[in-house]
Structure formats: C-alpha cells, structure tokens
Structure 1
C-alpha cells in the first residue's frame, strides 16, 4: 500500500476533505453573497418560533459545498450507526447521525456540517491518542528480534528468528538482539533485559545463565542453546498477556458499559419529549448532540490501557482491568519468607568453638564430614564453606543416619559425630552439663534469626555451627514503601521456626508474623485476614504457597521471567527479582483508579453543564459538539499521564528504573 492509499484509508482523510469543503462554502458565501442559485426546489429555513416551513426557492452553491462537507464527514458515522442498530446497539454514532440528518432536514446545513466534522476530528484524535496509550505494547513488539545467527553444518548462518529450531546453538554478538529463550553454553557477556524485567542495568551472563528473547547484548559474545522459540518465548508470552490485559474490562468499565446502554436511549427520549413540548426542533437536535456519552464511555478503557502499558514497560504484568482495580484496594500483603524476604540461599554464618583444645577449622571440618552424606538442605552451606577454607571432607562420606526432628548421626574415621539439636545429644547420652552450655549458645544464635546445629564428637560437645538465609537488602525498603502506598499490614507466612521468623520480621519491619506453618495453615491465615475486611495480596513461589495464592484477592509471582505458568496464571507477575516492584505495582494501580474517577467526573460534569447551557440558551449544536470532543481529549490526555514515570514514594529509584533512553535503545 503506497502513501496515498494509506492516507485515504487513514483516520484523517475524512475530516480533512470535509474541512476543505466547509472552507470552500464559507469562501463562496463571503465572496459572492452565497453564490448563484443552482438548484430549484424546496428551501428550508426556521421562522422565529423555530417551526420548519416549506417554500419554493433555490439553495446556493455555498449550501451545496456545506451539505457535501456534512455528507463526507457523516457518511461513516451513519454506516456505523446502522450496523450498531442491526446488532441492537444504540450508540453515540446514532445520536450524531440523527442530529445531523435532522439539521439537514430543517435546512441548518452549517450545524450538520459542524457536528459531523467535529465528531470526525474527535474520532481521529481519539484513535491517535489511544495508539499512544498502547505504546508499551508497540515497544514490546518492536524489540522482537527479526533475525538470528545459528550454527548449522559447522558454519554460521543468518536466518529469520522464526526459523530457529529447538536445540540449535545461536550466536549472540555485541549489539545484537537475543532471538530465543535459552541457556548460555559458552562465552560471557552483558545483556540489557529492560524489555523483560524493566531493569535498565545490563546483567552479566556466563555459562549456565538463562537468557530471554528480545534482550540486547551490550558487550561480549555468547553461544546460546535454544530452549524456547517463536510463541514459546518469554517475550511472546508477555506481549500476549499485555494484549489480553489491555482489552480486559474492569468492574467500573463493565458498569459504565451497562449504564451507556440505558443512557443513550434515554437521551433520545429526552430530546423527543423536549422537542414535542417546546415545539423547537433545534432544541431536540441539540440535546442529542449534547447528550453524547463519548467521554464517559472512553474514560475507563483509556486509563486501563495506559496503566497496564506503563506497568508492562516497568516489568510488571497485570492480568487485566479487574485485577488492576482490585490492586488499588489492597490493604494487606502476605509474603513468604524464603526466597521473598530472604535470598533463598542459606549461608554458614557462625562457627562457635566450645572445646578449648580445638580450632575453628577443626570444628568446621567435623561438621562438614558429618554432613557430607546428608541430604539435609542446610548441609550444602557447611560443605561449601569447609571446601572454601581447605578443610572439606575427602573421598566417600561415612555412614549417615538421619534422626527425624533432631539431626543426623555420622561415623567419620571410626568416630561418632552428632550434629543437631539438644534432643539429639541427650538421646545419645552426651553429659547434661555440656548440653546445657551448647543449648544456651544455640538459643542466642536462634534469637538472631539463625538455624544452629550443635556438633559433638564421641560424647564431647566441640562447638555450634549456624546457618542463615540472608535478608534481602531491599526487603526493609519494600515493607516501608508498601506502608507509604497505603498498605495497612504486611504479614509474613513461613514454615520456619518462630525465633528465626521473628528475627527476620524485626530486620524488615514486618507487622505480623505467622511461623511454623504448613501450606494449609497459610491458606487459613489468608482467609482470616479476608474475614477481617482486608483486600489481600499474596506473594509466594507458587508451589507450597499455591492454596494461599489462589485464595488471596491478588496472587503475585516474583521473578516470573522465563516461567510460562507464572506469566499466564498470576494476577500480577513481577518479571524481575526486584522486591521494590511490588509497592510500585500497587502505587501504579492506585494512580490508575484515581485517573479513572477523575475521568468519570470530567465526563459527567461536562454533560451536565452543556445540558444546563442548552436550556438556558446560548449553546448550539456546533458549540456542544466542540465542547463534547474537547472533553474526550481531556479524558484521554489525563489518562496519558500514567505513561510517565513518577518520582513518588512508590516509584523506583532512578538507578533502578527503565529510562526512556534505555527503552529507545532496546526498541532500536
């Protein structure tokens, strides 16, 4: 399609042609006093009482151009009105069509042309600005890679990205877009993942790292094994989810749609009654124009599209308008501890020596030797530290016997090694005096949020080792920002012990702690919060937290990049592993709902003022349509404010936000 054809079928061709015809009409009337009488037949005019009277006359060349301008601008409007009527829908197009046709019948060609021309301009501007509010989706589509370099038959081949096969090796060079989801098998580099996670700082990638389609190499050279291609990539799923979400309706929008189905016929009845009572046809037609609920109908969807688009640009996927609206009401947030408030990677934090004859490294060696054959999740940090310090066990681990709820018993070099809690030591006859001293040390460590394990060799307590899951650096700031965004209560739901949970809660500022919970206990805790009147968001890993996530008003998945299930099922999916995205999402939801309310108020106030102006006198059809279209643009412009990043209390720090430059670089 060439440029002329695009213009003809575009949004601006109709208002431009109509506008030119109207200008020609005015020019003819100004230059020649209305022009020659070219057509003999009925001439319509209004007398002082606004009654239509017929007489034999001719209407001028200027009238011909004015009528032509009305027909050009009103043709598409009338066609849409007829199609809507066939579908049993009475919409705005019908109101405008009836008003314009009525103006033509009573000979008021200027009013007919003005109403249809202004409505056509409003439609074109509305389409243009709505496209702008969908810019985030357009940017996501723009970052989709077009080509890929793959290794085939030992040679590099450049092919369309859609032709990459699963399991192929894809080469990613500096400045190139990653064409597939995959795993790095060789090389190092830095990838800009702003299009996926919203983070503008490039992420280092090495062997074993996961990469996503649409991200951009900022240095290095990577060989990637393709594990997700075409529609199975994270980027494709994000685009699909954003597209669906922007079309999904919020509860308020559904109400407005139902309201407009009754409102529009009511306006037509009002206009008919007013015309019959007053005998003023112009009044009736003007009421039809004034009563158009255009700004009201568009007030909600434009805000939803802009809000969801802004969120997607920042790496936050919101499932739809209903969930966006619900998120603005969140008053309590429940979070899992492991992997959410903490890093999810336990580390050895303490080695306390209780036997004066031994060194720290010796206590660490015995603990690691005992844990070498253990399947306990806390064994790994002990073994890693021991190997790092050169005292790790060598060869095949000795016999290991787990004692449920107490610890393990291991045979190392012919000696009996115990590692666990005081109950384990008592069971194996360790002297009470030694157990008492070790217990006090273990309790002190537990009070600091650590998991202590007492180590004994041949009935002698030699020390205590402690492991802890480190609190994430941004966890306290997340809790503070949630409070600033209006969340009344932040609750920790964890299966860990009370002492550990309380230490984590104290470090992060958590309001309420529920510890030693099973999955069904977490469900009960969420239900109890809902009974207290809270709208609750649950943040979890989606496995053992699944019942609670399903019950919460809003389920939030963190670090959802690469997780097809999380992207498709979570009410809110935070693509990156950034805790501060959660308060950002809630803050954005509140701003979006605020804009929705402002837009409804603007639309209703405009209609009321115009109706008052009609009955008071002074507001004509053309003025009414001009103000009406202006209100539509005001509503859209108000919603477009959501596309801007804010520096409010819930916004990301500058260093953590996707800057416009970053977006432009990714889209390039």
Structure 2
C-alpha cells in the first residue's frame, strides 16, 4: 500500500520541479510509439499516439505563444514552431504521406528537448546564484536573562543578544561583545583566508564561525544584513534585462512578423516563378519557419550575463544587473574617491615624536583622548592600547570643536589639539618641534600637540592609511589599458596629492563638494565615454549615480552608496576591480561570439533549405542544436 501511494507522489513532485523535462520524455515516448505503429501499418494507433505527442510536447509553447499573440498582439518563436509542426501534420494528412506527421512530431519533440536543456542550463546559473540562500539561517540562539532560546531570525530585534557556537553559521549581522574566533567569510566577501573577530568587530550573516564562541549584539534589523542585501540585489539582477537583451527581444518580435510574411510568400510564389509543386513549396515554407526562427539569437545574451553575475558573486563582486556587467567591460576611465576607498577610512597613528619620554607622552595622550569621540582621538587610544601602555581617566574634560580638547590628568591641566589651539592655552616653547610638525603636515598627516602641566610633551601624527593592495590594483588597471585614472577627494589638496602619488595616480581633484564630483564625472564621460566611479560614502552617492558604472565598497560603504551603486565589492578589495573588468570584457566577447554563431547558423540553414538539401527534422535539429550550443557557450562564464 505504501509503495503504491509513494510512486505517484514521487512523480508528482518530479513533475512540479522539472515539468519541461517530464514533458519532453513523454513526448519522445509517444513519438516513438506512434512512429512504430505507422511502421507496422497500425495506422489508427499511429494517428492516435502522434497527436498526443503534439499535445504533450507543444502545450506549454502553444499556451505561451497564444498568450503573447492575444494579450500583447505580438508573434513569438514558440508560436512559429507550433504553426510549422501543425502545417507538417496537415500536409501529411492531405497527401497521405504520414511520415510528415512524424516530422511535425519530431519538430515538437526536439523543440521540447531544447526547452528542457535550456531550462537546465539556466537553472545551473540560477542555482549558483540562489546558493546564496543556503547561507542564511532560519533560527538564532538568543540569550534572554542568561538562558539560550531558539528564535526565528525574522523575529530578532535591534539590541538582542545572540550566541554563535563553534562551527555554526552566523544567523545575522552583529557586533561582537564577548569572545574571540576566526570566521570563514569566503561565501560573502570572497576572502580566501579566515578573518579574526573579537570584541568590537562586526560579523556578517552567512559567515561560518571557527573554534571560538561569540556573543553578538544586533545593531541593525536582520532584513538589512549584508547577505540579505546581496540576495535582493541578485534577484533584481535576474529580473532586469540589459539593453542588449531588450534590443534582441524587440528585434525578435519584428523579426517574427517578417518571418511569417516571408513564409506566406514562400508558400505561394515559388510555383509561379520556379514551377515547384505545391506540396514541395509548402514543405519548404514550413522548414523556413523553423530554421529562420531566432531562438539561438534569443539565447545568445542572458545565459552569458547571468553566468557572469554568478561568477562575480562567488568572487565577492556583486553586479546588480546584466547591463552593468556589460558596461564594466567597456570602462575606459575610472575615478576613485580617496577616504574609505583608496584608504582604509580609519585614521591611524603614524608618528610619535616625544621631547623626552615617549611612554609618558603616550600615557597622557591616551588619558585625555579617551574622553573624546573624535576619530583622531580614537586612533590615538587604540595605538596606545596596542603598545600596552596604561593610563588614567581624565576629568573636567572639555572639547573645543575644530581645535582640540582640554582636561585634568593626574591633577594637572592637559591639552591635546593643533598648534594654534596649544598656543592659546599655554605659553611654552614649541620651537624644537616646529620643523618636524611641518614636515609631517606636508606629508598630509594631521599633527596633534600634547601638553601637560604647562609643558609640551611632544606631537603625535595621525593619517588615513592607504589600503595595502591599492598601489598594485592601480598598476594592474593601467596594464589592462584603462586610459585614465583620477582621484576625487573632498580633502585638502596636499593630502590628496600624497595619497595619489603613493598609489600611482597622476591626476588629482581635491577639496570637492558632492556636486563637484558629479561635474567631473560628466566631464570624463564626454571625453572617454564609459566611466566608472569607485566610492563608499554618502557624499559619493551622486557621483556613483552619474557614472556609467558606480562601484561601492561593500563593507565600509554607506547604505546610500550601496543602494546607489551598480556594482559592489563585498570585501572592499580593490584588486577585485581587475576581476570585474575582465569578467565584463569576457562576457562581451562571449555574447558577440554567440550572436555571430547564431546568425551564421540561421544563414546556413536557410541556404540549405532553398537548395532543398534538408528535411524538416534535420532543419529542427540544426535550429534547436544551435540554440542549445549557444546557451551552453554562455555558461562558460561560470568558470571564467
């Protein structure tokens, strides 16, 4: 009893998941049995089985074709195939040459098999992309009053505490408040090496925890997590057709009308011009409808672009749609924002110049700056921590915007700030440090003067550090033939020029407002055509939108930049720009190859048809075979 109920259930599930494949198999079975019946002169059985093959194999195509015809008033390839098959069947019945009915059935069968193969090929791409969904967890281990409770991820709220045990999938983005571990971020950012995470670090949903337990605090809703943004962007990429695909779709509809008109003329004119008999004329007209249909041309673009998108996603490069993958291959000039793009966006201490005691300078500096929320103060405190110097908390702290900070440390008045502010507060000799301070400032660094007990202790220089891969990334872009690379920055000219010279960029535009960046992008577009903009901040969003391709840094990028950009570098790795451009160029090459191949095959089949060298089944095999080959060709980008 169990086995009897189990088989239909299995078949039902299989049919729901692979309807095209099941239809093709059943169609093939009925075609074979119908042909066998005719071969054994069982005419009645053959004429019963073959129409079933027509219905099973052609139902889906007929429905889609008729829907397009009646709802959109357009012809498509599906309807042309059905008309050709029915025409062959009608001709066979008229002439009592029943092998033509078999020819029509074979046309339906091969068209059905082609649809199943194309569906399989497209599903490979979709599975590769939708594999991102497997990186999400439905539940999280939430800590409530110290006790663990499993809760659905979509019920989590900002402020909830989540425990991630060793080896588990991180369920949502969060900040580490307790614990230490290494995380495998490769599924999300493309990083090949595990990344260390400890208190204060951010972790991402979909990453895999290592050997340590982590306690996380949720700082944003699960719907806003990095992996969820990736999934939404990929879904958007699948639903939006790039310009080339839109052009091909428009071309197909006009082309289909031309094919029908020419097919009708071919079914009428040859007997009068070349004295063909009517049966041959109609048969050739039916073959023409098949071989001239632009199926292969339709399959030349989207499988290729979706494969490229899937490949990029695996490498930590997110293309929001196929149009941007195409555009990436055409980039001639690239504009870089400075802070957070070429640099880490986080100030770091680069130089410590004490007058006497370095440790004493660091201790006093950390004491006063620990009360500051300014990024420079945070950088100084972090530096002192790393050098394991202890300090005491400052009291009576007062911040002076744009100048510095004052307070009391170890019962003595303490000052941290720029030179002008220092001179306002105390009357102390600073001449011994003036030259070194000027040299540091000329190098584009910010100099913080530290004074304690009315005496200057020394200076600390802070700068935004260049990303270690930035120079190599710029060099590689130049080697690839990018014609112009420029730096756009809102920072001062001196700092911008220092960063540019270190990474190898010759043209610098500094002290820019957001609108200034937009204007410069427009200027570059007039000169070079396709221009990419790489940025991460809110102030970069207008320029990202104006650029032919806007590229955002996925980790450090602001939400506005991520939403505005067309491409996201998930791991903030600039060297992935080279990969993205090469992928775009490769996609363009494959699309062009596919279009040339598809058009060439159509021409060859048309010539063969007019030379009366092919039969209907052979024309179908050539037509559908070229479609499958073009689709499989596009899948090469999965491995590119």
- Relative distance call for 1:223 and 1:465 in structure 2 (3 A) is closer
* CA positional deviation for 1:367: 6.6
Residue ranges of structure 2 left out of the alignment (5+ in a row): 1-7, 93-99, 272-280
* CA positional deviation for 1:267: 0.7
Quote the residue 1:188 is aligned against. 180
Asked if 1:270 corresponds to 2:262, the answer is yes
Asked if 1:84 corresponds to 2:68, the answer is yes
Quote the residue 1:530 is aligned against. 525
* CA positional deviation for 1:585: 2.1
Q: 1:256 aligns with which of 241, 248, 259?
A: 248
- Structure 2 CA distance, aligned partners of 1:423 and 1:161? 51
Q: 1:6 aligns with which of 10, 13, 19?
A: 13
Q: Contact between 2:544 and 2:564, CA under 8 Å: does it hold in 1?
A: no
Q: 2:101 aligns with which of 103, 109, 131?
A: 109
- Relative distance call for 1:518 and 1:158 in structure 2 (3 A) is closer
* CA positional deviation for 1:418: 8.6
Deviations 1:249-289 (Å, cap 9, x if unpaired)?
Answer: 11111111111110001011111112211131111111000
Q: Normalising by structure 2, what TM-score?
A: 0.85
Counterparts of 1:26-37 in structure 2, within 5 Å, are 26-28=35-37, 32=40, 35-36=41-42
Quote the residue 2:284 is aligned against. 283
Mean CA deviation greater in 549-558 or 288-297 = 549-558
Q: Normalising by structure 1, what TM-score?
A: 0.81
- Relative distance call for 1:36 and 1:379 in structure 2 (3 A) is closer
Report how many residues are paired: 612
- Structure 2 CA distance, aligned partners of 1:634 and 1:234? 36
Asked if 1:576 corresponds to 2:577, the answer is no
Asked if 1:95 corresponds to 2:80, the answer is yes
Secondary structure at the aligned position of 1:12 is classed as helix
Quote the residue 1:301 is aligned against. 302
- Structure 2 CA distance, aligned partners of 1:540 and 1:232? 20
* CA positional deviation for 1:142: 2.1
Q: 1:496 aligns with which of 481, 491, 496?
A: 491
- Relative distance call for 1:274 and 1:531 in structure 2 (3 A) is same
Secondary structure at the aligned position of 1:260 is classed as helix
Quote the residue 1:21 is aligned against. 30
- Structure 2 CA distance, aligned partners of 1:226 and 1:238? 19
- Structure 2 CA distance, aligned partners of 1:135 and 1:375? 46
Q: Contact between 1:373 and 1:399, CA under 8 Å: does it hold in 2?
A: no
Mean CA deviation greater in 105-114 or 577-586 = 577-586
Quote the residue 1:235 is aligned against. 227
- Structure 1 CA distance, aligned partners of 2:212 and 2:406? 49
Q: Contact between 1:11 and 1:124, CA under 8 Å: does it hold in 2?
A: yes
- Structure 1 CA distance, aligned partners of 2:10 and 2:540? 55
| RMSD of aligned Cα (Å) | 3.5
* CA positional deviation for 1:207: 3.0
Deviations 1:567-591 (Å, cap 9, x if unpaired)?
Answer: 4432112222322223322222222
Q: Contact between 1:241 and 1:568, CA under 8 Å: does it hold in 2?
A: no
Deviations 1:525-562 (Å, cap 9, x if unpaired)?
Answer: 32322232342222222323233223222222213489
- Structure 2 CA distance, aligned partners of 1:257 and 1:337? 41
Q: 1:639 aligns with which of 606, 623, 634?
A: 634
Asked if 1:317 corresponds to 2:318, the answer is yes
- Structure 1 CA distance, aligned partners of 2:295 and 2:120? 16
Mean CA deviation greater in 412-421 or 105-114 = 412-421
Q: 1:378 aligns with which of 349, 364, 376?
A: 376
Q: Contact between 2:395 and 2:407, CA under 8 Å: does it hold in 1?
A: no
- Relative distance call for 1:444 and 1:298 in structure 2 (3 A) is same
Mean CA deviation greater in 151-160 or 304-313 = 151-160
Quote the residue 1:478 is aligned against. 473
- Structure 1 CA distance, aligned partners of 2:57 and 2:372? 80
Q: Contact between 1:70 and 1:109, CA under 8 Å: does it hold in 2?
A: no
Secondary structure at the aligned position of 2:539 is classed as coil
Secondary structure at the aligned position of 1:255 is classed as helix
Deviations 1:329-357 (Å, cap 9, x if unpaired)?
Answer: 2222222222221222222222346x6xx
Quote the residue 2:115 is aligned against. 123
Counterparts of 1:45-56 in structure 2, within 5 Å, are none
Q: 1:599 aligns with which of 594, 597, 603?
A: 594
- Relative distance call for 1:531 and 1:443 in structure 2 (3 A) is farther
Structure with greater helix share of residues:
2
Q: Contact between 2:178 and 2:215, CA under 8 Å: does it hold in 1?
A: yes
- Structure 2 CA distance, aligned partners of 1:230 and 1:420? 42
Residue ranges of structure 1 left out of the alignment (5+ in a row): 39-60, 647-668
* CA positional deviation for 1:163: 5.0
Q: Contact between 1:237 and 1:567, CA under 8 Å: does it hold in 2?
A: no
Quote the residue 1:660 is aligned against. none
Secondary structure at the aligned position of 1:149 is classed as strand
* CA positional deviation for 1:104: 0.9
Quote the residue 1:73 is aligned against. 57
Q: Contact between 2:368 and 2:394, CA under 8 Å: does it hold in 1?
A: no
- Structure 2 CA distance, aligned partners of 1:617 and 1:215? 61
Mean CA deviation greater in 101-110 or 178-187 = 178-187
* CA positional deviation for 1:566: 4.7
